[in-house]
Amino acid sequence: MLKHLVLLSAFFTICISSKGQAPLEKEVLEVVEVLRTAMIDGDKTTLEKVTSEFLSYGHSNGRVENKQEFVESLVSGRSDFVTMNLSEQTITVTSPKVALVRHTLDADILDGGKPNTVKLKVLLVFQKEKAGWTLIARQAVKVTS
């Protein structure tokens, strides 16, 4: 009887945990889309809202930017995303306040005014703060094939 109670308790714990995580994944999915759109639009207000003061934004060429550098690069047009498509996206909520997002990013860009296309594998780390989910870290690598 005790064995059945333990199994039943474990089952309910798993069910409750998985139901609680789905809304968090939806929240993260929404903020990823807000970030994507703000990056294309160069929307300073939104970029500042969805990025952490402690942002570490790693590019595929090894350059790392803080929040101010990241936002200014997009707002000034120095880095200009013309299009950005995300695919193969996975979201893993590791705690109620931390989420990992992986995806493939395909984009048409103007980098210093020069047209280019990029295909990257990206890791985003989000942290939930009082104002909502914010990007705290990003790292990208070029897709070689």
Q: What is the pLDDT along the chain (145 residues), one digit of tens a residue?
A: 544 444 444 444 444 444 456 899 999 999 999 999 999 999 999 999 999 999 999 999 999 999 999 999 999 998 899 999 999 999 999 999 999 999 999 999 998 788 999 999 999 999 999 989 999 999 999 998 6
- Cross-strand pairs, 101: 91, 124
Q: Output the pLDDT for position 111.
A: 82
Q: Output the pLDDT for position 105.
A: 98
CA 61 → CA 5, 53, 120, distances in Å? 55, 23, 11
- The C-alpha atoms of residue 112 and residue 45 are separated, in whole angstroms, by 22
State in words which class domain 2-142 has. Answer: alpha beta
Residue ranges per domain, the chain? 2-142
